Structure formats: structure tokens, C-alpha cells
Amino acid sequence: MTGFSRFPLVGRREVMSMSKCFVRPLFVAGGLLATLVSVCHAEAVSPRRLLEVVDIAGPTMSPDGRSVAFRVERASVARNTYDTVWYVQGLGDPWPRRVADGGVPLRDSAGGSSPPKVLWSPDNRRIYYRALVDGKIDVWRAAADGSGAVPLTHDAADIRDFVLDEDGRVLRYSVGATREEVQSAERAEYDKGIYIDASVPIGQGLFRSGYVDGRLETQRFSKVWFDRLPLLADVPDRWMEIDLTKGTRQALADSNAASAPSSAPSKAGVDGDPWQSVSEPHDGRVAWLTRIGDGRGQQQRPDVLLSALQRAHANRAVRCISALCTGKAISAIQWRPDHDEVLFTVTDFHQGLAQSILRWNVGTGNVREVVAAGGLVNGGRDPASNCGASADVLVCVTAKADRPPQLESVDLESGKRHVLFNPNEALARDMVDAAPARLLQWQDKQGRWFSGQFYSALRSGGEPMPLFITYYSCPGFVRGGVGDEWPLASLAQAGISALCINRLPGYTMDAVARYGEGLAAAESAVDRLAKEGEIDRARVGMGGLSFGAEVAMWTVAHSNLLAAASAANPVVSPSYYLIGSIKGEAFLKGLRERWGLGSPSETPERWKALSPAFQLHRIHAPILFQHSEQEYMYALDYEIPLIREHRADLYVFPNEPHQKFQPRHKLAVYNRNLDWFRFWLQGHEDPDPAKAAQYARWRLMRSSLRKERAAH
């Protein structure tokens, strides 16, 4: 695992992209490159540039409030991996200092990068973090001055969690089964045959077929829907303790281990359904977000209440009753150090998921806005992540639809913002010049408001342009929608306008109504853009992952809106039911609650209403399926007939979970989706000889669909 150049203020590809520009380097004492100054024309925002964006995560302030530690992550297509690096930057410094490699990014079972955890030593001289290096997850310690980093734990098992005591002398960490025990259990199953029970995720490879913590491991279902875990993940935590001054190690007794992780906060006297809580580390106060309001027909109650318990054993919470915190989509909370204030983040659906941060004084009840952004202002890509906070300053990752992530400081009193670190400067400049986005807000026929980010294709003449739509969620720097599979800026540069639509807040439990919301959002957006002369309603494509794929498939089957579609994962079908039913009641209960489905024989009419397997005669647009190996078999009952009738193509990516993450796979998906929609919406074919077979299939598909339409 290697990192970037010493100061990746401009990444390697960005430097290469400016090779035809006048570039003047600026140097500082010691000969370290600080920045590059250049004047040049915008370069193409290619799929690869979108994929290799530098992401910033986990900004965490030092105890003295003078420095921030953070991690950067960037895909490398060349090596099919990700580079991660830990940096420390003084708030008054013009650039960050590299202190350690971050190892292979840890991921959740759906393929998303897990948020990094970093702790500072009380003396501000070191940071502690988990890292997967050479196949082992250890707790590492890095000097904040960049002089070195070392692993501390050297355990036979991977580290699950860790804490540091208040004086920084003792490190406690938890582990489960050892790596050798896990691998021995895998080999034993392989030799004796794998017993299929409710825990085995059939429909994918059964032996070491999914990446878990950086290596291919045998998987089992967790208790949460289709989440996966490695073998022996159910082994209970064992807590260990290292005296950092003496270097001694001991196992914690059960009575001590219970107090090693933070205990669950009190919710006595807190109204509503508990959602999020955060404890003030020194005096036991707890801030709460709870769900309130009438939740009929929804998965959860619609409104958010911010309240706080003002002392450790309080029996009644105080509420935030200001107009600035009631009826707002509060998405995250944290205590302001050394103050009686809770910092809370509002993520505004109507403003395209733009965020603002406010501070609530739990004693006086006063609320003041700190900062309002046109996009995300938090701790990374996840809208629910927090900025790093000191008594005086926030350090946040900020990003907008057409501006990739950068690191900023925000003064908590004045709201003044200052850019600390901008590793994507060249791409940001090119996005503004070549593929700018604008917030789109509109209503459907029922009066429901929607929002989305619109990338308008550059028009030659006054002709309306084709349109691509993806539906689900569009926070921050929008690369390819949820799952990052459709390169929106690249589509716009290629002459296809692109729109990323945010789903309505909440989760409607009736699936027909839920899908209808997505269809109405797409139809009403097309109506508006077509009336304004922006797009050609006869050339509209759509794609999505997860819920976005469900809406795309529903739109294909229940409207004439689309000329072509793309789906990144399966939707409900008899095959999905058959394979998922191995989980037993946990799966069957979810199917009843989320889709109103029993078995195909129990609820046949409901199946006919929801599943494309019973609606093949209604599908008249070509569909590109690009699935992970973990899921593709769930969809074969409707995809094989479409493939045989020359109405669909299917690609499967080995060893991938719900969201594909291997850089080469993601680039292949990006490029094929770009080719697919250019073919169907523009009649364009890439002359690359390696793609000849692809276009031969698609031409046959086009001919077959034309004959079908003529017959009808």
C-alpha cells in the first residue's frame, strides 16, 4: 500500500492533465512543493477522473485545538486498489503534513468505505488509528510531526475497536477469533462440505468469495437483512489492555471489559423514538435526536426532535424549541467542547441536500447558525458524519454537486470559512468550466416537491439534448449517483444532459406508492425540461442502484418514458424469493413489510403487480444489467428471457458486494454505461476495435426492438 506524493495538493493525474499548460511551481523552505500555479483550458472530465477523486474523511481536532488529523483516500485504477494516507495540519499552516499510510480501507458488507476512527494523545503529539496493513488490522500510532508510525497491538486477531484512557497511558482494544482460527474454519468447511442453513448466503460463491477486511473470506449472513460477516464473527469481544509506558499487555477480566467501550447513554425522559445520541465526555450530559410525528404509512416517524439531558441522572430532557431546530431535517449532532452547546447539522432536501450547522445552548435555549453551505459540510461523504470540533473552530469536509471535496475551517463565532486543503483543485476548475451543475426544484402533478442536480449538456445550435436520469440520493460531489456507476459529468460532456434526483424524505411502506413517487419524479422532471426546450423527451435514459434500480425497472415497465435503461442490481422476483428464503422468517418478515409479499403462491396478484418477471411483455426499452457476483443470480428469472429475446445485456463482476468497489470494475461500469447511453440516445459508437462485439450485440438488439415495435 503506497500513498500519494508528499503533498498531494494536486494529484498525479491532475499534474499530467496540465502537461500542455504553463505551470509555475512555488517552493517553500526545504524545497517542499506547496502548490502549482497554472493557466490552461479545461480538460475533459473523464470517467477515470471522476473515479480517482481524492476523498477526505474523519477530521479530528487535537486536544489543544490547534491541529486537525484527517485521512485521504483515492482509487488507483493502475493497481486496482486504494491509497489512504493520514495527515496532520496546523490550522495556521498552508499545507498538511503526511504522518502515515492508512492501509487498505476497511469496508462495510455492502462495499462502502467505513469511516475512519482516530484518537489524539492528550499531549497533542501522536494519533492512534486502526489500519489494515499486510493482511492484519492493528492499532497504529503515528507521530504528529511525521517522524514515524508503528503498530502497537501485534495481536493474532484483527482489532475490532479501541479506546485510549484520559491520560494517554493505557490503550484498550477488542478482538474476536484469531486470523488462523478463521482460516482453519474455512478450510474445514471446504474439506468436509459446506452445510447449507439459514446463515449461508447462497446465490454466490460459498468459499472465500467476498472481500472482508482486505482478503477474500467465506461469508455468513448477519442479523441485518442481507449484510454479510466472515466466519466466526459471532465470537464475543475479548478486551485487552496495553500499558504504553511499560509496554506490558494483559487481558481484561469480564467485569473490566464491560466498561472498556463507552456505555449506552440514558434515554430516561427523552420523548420520541431514539435515533442518535452523543454524550458529553466529561460531565455525563447527553444530546438526543428522536423521531416524532405521525408515521402512518412510513417506515419511521417523519420529524426530528433535538433534546438533551443536562446532567448524568436527569429524569427529564430539555427540548430545542427554536424555529431554527423544529421541523428541520437534523441529521447529526455533537457537543461543542468546553461549552453548553450542541452543534447540529440540518440537511435540507428542498435545497438538494445542502447542509447548514447551527449551535444550540442547552441552558439558555438560544440557537445560532454557524455556517450554511450549498452542499455538504461535515466529516466526509456520509451526510450524517460530523466535522472535527474544538472550542473555537470546526474543521469540515465540504463538497457540492460540481465541486469535489476540500477541507475547510469554520470559526464557530463568526462563521468565517478558510480552505485548508484542496487536493482536487484541478478537477474542481474543470468541472466549473466543462460540466457545471445547477440545483433543480420542481413539482409533480400531485404537488409534491422534488429536488435534484442537473448537468446540462453543451448544445450546438438550438436542438434539445438527450437526458439521463438516476434516482435515489445526490449529496455532495455527485459522481455517478448512489453506487457511483453513471458518470454524470462525462455524460454531459458527451452531449447527454444528466439529472440526479433525490428521493422524497422518509420511506413509504407501500411498494407501489413508493415506486410511484420515483416514476412521478422522473416524469415531472422530463415534462419541465422538455417544455423549457432543454431536453428531447424521446431520448431519455435512466439507471440506478438498490432502490434506484427498483425505480428504474418500475419506470421501464410502467411508462413509455425511457428509450434505454441500466440497472446495477436485481429487484424482487421469484428467484429473489427462493434464494432469500433460506434466511427464514427474518427475510419473510422483511418481504411482507417492505413489499407486501408472501410466497408467489400466497400473494400471486401482488407478485404480478411488483415483479418484472411477470411484466416482461411491458418492457420495451433495452436494459443493461451490470451486477455484482454476490447478487446476480437473484435476477436470472427475468433477465435470461430478456437476454434471449435481444432486449438486455448482462455483465457480472466477480467478488463484488452490493456496491462495487474495485477500481477497475468501477471504471468498466462507468465506461460501459457511457457507451450504452450514447448508443441508444445518440446513435454513437466508439470506434475502438475492442468494443466491436459489444456494438454488434447492441445493433442486433436495436433491430429486434424495432421489429417488435413495428409489430405492435
* Residue among 507, 503, 496, 632 at smallest CA distance from 570: 632
Q: Residue 257: pLDDT band by 50, 70, 90 thresholds? A: low
Q: Which residue has the higher pLDDT, 213 or 265?
A: 213
The chain-wide mean pLDDT, for the chain, equals 92
Residue 143 has what pLDDT? 98
pLDDT tens track for 353-398 = 999 999 999 999 999 999 999 999 999 999 999 999 999 999 999 9
Q: What is the mean pLDDT of residues 469-496?
A: 97
Q: Which three cell numbers stand for residue 31?
A: 524545497
The answer to pTM > 0.95 is no
Task: Determine the average pLDDT of the residues in 213-231.
Answer: 93
Cross-strand bridge partners of residue 377? 398
Over residues 650-675, the mean pLDDT reads 98
> According to the model, what pLDDT value does residue 326 have?
96
Q: What is the pLDDT of residue 253?
A: 86
Residue 424, pLDDT > 50, answer yes
Tell the burial category of 554 from Cβ atoms under 10 Å away from its Cβ (0-12, 13-18, 19+): buried
CA–CA distance, 183 with 188 (Å, rounded to integer): 9
In total, the chain counts a number of residues equal to 712
Instruction: Assess whether pLDDT exceeds 80 at residue 193.
Output: yes
Taking residues 286-313, report their average pLDDT.
93
* pLDDT at 93 exceeding the cut of 80: yes
pLDDT digit string, tens, across residues 687-697? 999 999 999 99
Provide the pairing of β-strand 623-628 with 648-653. Answer: parallel
How many C-beta atoms surround the C-beta of residue 114 within 10 A?
12
Beta bridge partners, 288, equal 277, 307
C-alpha 57/C-alpha 371 separation (Å) is: 19
Task: Give the integer Cα–Cα distance in Å for 260 and 434.
Answer: 52
Percent of the chain surpassing pLDDT 70: 92
User: pLDDT tier at 420 (50, 70, 90 boundaries)?
Assistant: very high
Residue 34 has pLDDT above 50, yes or no: no
Q: Decide if pLDDT at 461 tops 80.
A: no
In the sheet that holds 149-151, the strands lie side by side as 118-120, 126-133, 136-143, 149-151
Q: Domains of the chain by range and CATH?
A: 179-230 (no CATH), 435-573+611-711 (3.40.50.1820)
Q: Which residues contact 625 (CB under 8 A, 6 or more apart)?
A: 566, 567, 632, 635, 639, 648, 649, 650, 651
Residue found under cell 486543503: 421
Give the Cβ contact number of residue 110 at 10 Å.
17
Is the pLDDT assigned to residue 33 strictly greater than 50? no
State the distance between the two ends of the chain, measured CA to CA, in whole angstroms. 57
Position 339, amino acid: H
Q: Lowest-confidence range among 22-26, 429-433, 549-553?
A: 22-26
Q: How confident is the model at residue 268 (pLDDT cuts 50, 70, 90)?
A: confident
> Does 214 score more than 90 pLDDT?
no
Sign of torsion, CA 423 425 431 434? negative
What integer pLDDT is reported at residue 468 of this predicted model?
Answer: 98
Distance CA 227, CA 223 (A): 8
User: CA-to-CA distance for 80 and 73, rounded, in angstroms?
Assistant: 13
pLDDT for 264 equals 61
pLDDT band at residue 42 under the 50/70/90 scheme? low
Cα distance between residue 192 and residue 183, in whole Å:
14
CA distance 508 to 490: 33
pLDDT over 60 at 6, yes or no: no
Higher pLDDT, 102 or 13: 102
Pairing of strands 330-335, 81-90: unpaired
3-state secondary structure of 368: strand
* Per-residue confidence (pLDDT) for residue 3, from 0 to 100: 34
Residue 541 pLDDT level (bands cut at 50, 70, 90) = very high
The 10s digit of each residue's pLDDT in 572-624 is 999 999 999 999 999 999 999 999 999 999 999 999 999 999 999 999 999 99
Higher pLDDT: 263 or 629? It is 629
Count of CB atoms situated within 10 Å of the CB of 167: 11
Burial class of residue 20 in the structure, from the number of CB atoms within 10 Å of its CB (0-12 exposed, 13-18 middle, 19+ buried): exposed
Model confidence at 429, pLDDT cuts 50, 70, 90, reads: very high
